[in-house]
Copies of this chain bind each other. A is one copy, B any other.
Amino acid sequence: MFEIKSKLEKRRIGILKTKNGDINTPFFMPIATKGAVKNILPEEIKKIGAEIVLGNTYHLWLRPGDETIKKAGGLHKFMDWDGPILTDSGGFQVFSLGARAKEKFGKSGVRLSEKGVYFSDPENGKKYFMSPEKSIEIQLNLGSDIIMVLDECPPFPCDYQYAKKSLELTARWAKRCLEYFQEKTGNMKKKPLLFAIVQGSVYEDLRKESARQLVAMNFDGYAIGGVAVGEPREKMYEILNWVLPILPEDKPRYLMGLGRPEEIVAAVGAGVDMFDCVIPTREGRHGRLFIRKNESKNQSADWRTKIKIKKELFYETININNEKYKEDFSPVDEYCDCALCKNYTKSYLRHLFAVSEPLALRLASIHNLKFYTEMMKKLQEE
C-alpha cells in the first residue's frame, strides 16, 4: 500500500498505492472542495503534474448530496478525474461553518454529543447530523480513495482540559470509523484507505497520547490535524517532532492544511509525505505568484535537503497587480512551462487582473499549482 523507496535523513521518497492509481510521495493535493478545482479542468491538473486531488465531504454532502454523486457513478466520474481522490471527513467545516448558520438563522449552531454532531446548513438553516459512521458512509458513497476519520477540531487557543476531552472523543470516534469502515469495505475488491487524525492542540503529552492511541488501532495512514489553525508556526515544527517519531515508519503521514512552500519543505524534511493547502490557488486568485529563485532547470536543488530553509533561498512571490509590471513583457517565471508562463507576459496577466477578466484567476492558479507540484517533484528526487 505504501512503499518507501529511499530515505534521505528523515525525508522519505516513496509510492502510495490507491484503488485509482499510484502517487509519488511526498505529494501536494490541489483542492477540489466542491468537486472542482477552482477555474481548472482535470486535464489541466494532469498537465500541471498533480496526481491526486482533495474533495470535501461536508460540502459535497450538502450539495449536490453524496447520494446524487453515488448515482452519478462516484465523484471520479462526476468530476471527470480518474486519478486518486482524498476526502476529508467534514469535521473541520461542521465546526467552522456551524457558527455562520447560527448568525444567519438563529439556530443553535453546532451541538456536540458523544454520538455525533448536530449542525445547520449555513445556506438555508437545514438541520444535519454528522456522526463517525455517517462521515464514512458519505465518503464511501463519493468513492474516495483515501478516507479520513471524523475528528472534533478544537479551536486555537484551546485550554488543556478541552483539548484532552476532545482528543479522547476523537479517539473513540476514530475507533467507530474504523469498525464501520471495516464492516462496509469487507467485501470490496478495491478498498479505499482509511486515515486517522492526530489531535491534541499544542500540548506535548496530548499530541503523543493521541498518536499512540491511533497507532494502536492500525490505520492505513496518519494525519496531523489541528495545525494551521492559528497557532504560531514554530509550534507546528514542535508538534511534528513530538508526533512523527510515534507514527509507524511504513505508513504515510499527512500534514493537513499546510502550507507555505518553506513549511512544506521543512515538514518533508521532518518526514511528512502528504500535503494540501488553499494557498497556491487562493494566492493566485489575488494575483500573488510564486517564482523559483536562484535556480535554472539544470541547477541542483540543494535547498530541499535543508530543514527550516529560508524562503529567500529558493523562491519569491510577486504581486502581479503592481504597476511596475504594466509593461513587463517577460514571463512570470522564465523556467516554468505552465499555460501562463509558456504563452503570456506579466503585462498580460496584470491586465487581466486590472480589468477583472476571469482568465486571470485561472492562469494564476495554474501557475501556482505548477510551482507547488514542481517543488514536490524536486522533493521526490533522491
A interface, CB within 8 angstroms of B? 34-36, 38-41, 59, 63-64, 68, 71-73, 78-80, 326-327, 329, 339, 343-345, 347-348, 350-352, 354-355, 357-359, 361-362
Residues of B within 8 A of A326 (CB): 64, 68
Cβ contact of A358, chosen from B64, B73, B361, cutoff 8 A: B361
CB–CB A79/B355 < 8 A: no
Is A348 touching B79 in the complex (CB atoms < 8 A)? yes
Known A38-B359, A39-B358, A59-B355; further 15 A-B contacts with Cβ < 8 A = A34-B357, A35-B351, A35-B352, A39-B362, A63-B351, A71-B327, A71-B329, A72-B348, A73-B329, A78-B345, A78-B351, A79-B348, A80-B344, A358-B358, A358-B361
Query: Could you tell me the distance in whole angstroms from the C-beta of A325 to the nearest C-beta in chain B?
Result: 10
Residue ID in chain B nearest A362 by CB atoms:
B39
Complex contacts, A78 vs chain B, CB 8 Å = 345, 347-348, 351
Subset of 25 A-B contacts with CB under 8 Å = A34-B351, A34-B352, A34-B355, A35-B352, A35-B357, A36-B352, A36-B359, A38-B357, A39-B358, A39-B362, A41-B339, A59-B355, A63-B355, A64-B326, A68-B326, A68-B327, A71-B329, A72-B347, A72-B348, A73-B329, A78-B345, A78-B351, A80-B344, A358-B358, A358-B361
- Bound Cα distance from A281 to B44, whole angstroms: 22
CA distance A362 to B329 in the complex (A): 27
**Given known contacts A64-B347, A78-B348, A348-B72, A359 and B59 CB-to-CB distance under 8 angstroms:** no
- B64, B345, B357: the one contacting A72 at CB < 8 Å is B345
Across-interface contacts of A41 in B (CB, < 8 A): 339, 359, 362
Q: What residues of B have a CB within 8 angstroms of the CB of A71 in the complex?
A: 327, 329
- Shortest 10 CB-CB contacts between residues of A and residues of B: A80-B343, A64-B351, A34-B355, A36-B359, A36-B357, A39-B358, A63-B355, A78-B348, A72-B329, A68-B327
B contact residues around A361 at 8 Å (CB): 358
Interface centre among A329, A347, A351 (most CB of B within 10 A): A351
Distance (Å) between the CB of A151 and the closest chain B CB? 24
| Residues on B with beta carbons closer than 8 Å to the beta carbon of A63 | 351, 354-355
Q: Determine the chain B residues whose CB is within 8 A of the CB of A355 once the complex forms.
A: 34, 59, 63
CB contacts (< 8 Å) of A36 on chain B: these are: 352, 357, 359
| Residues in B whose Cβ lies below 8 Å from that of A345 | 72, 78
A225 to B86 CA separation, bound complex (whole angstroms): 54
Measured CB to CB, the nearest residue on chain B to A65 is: B326
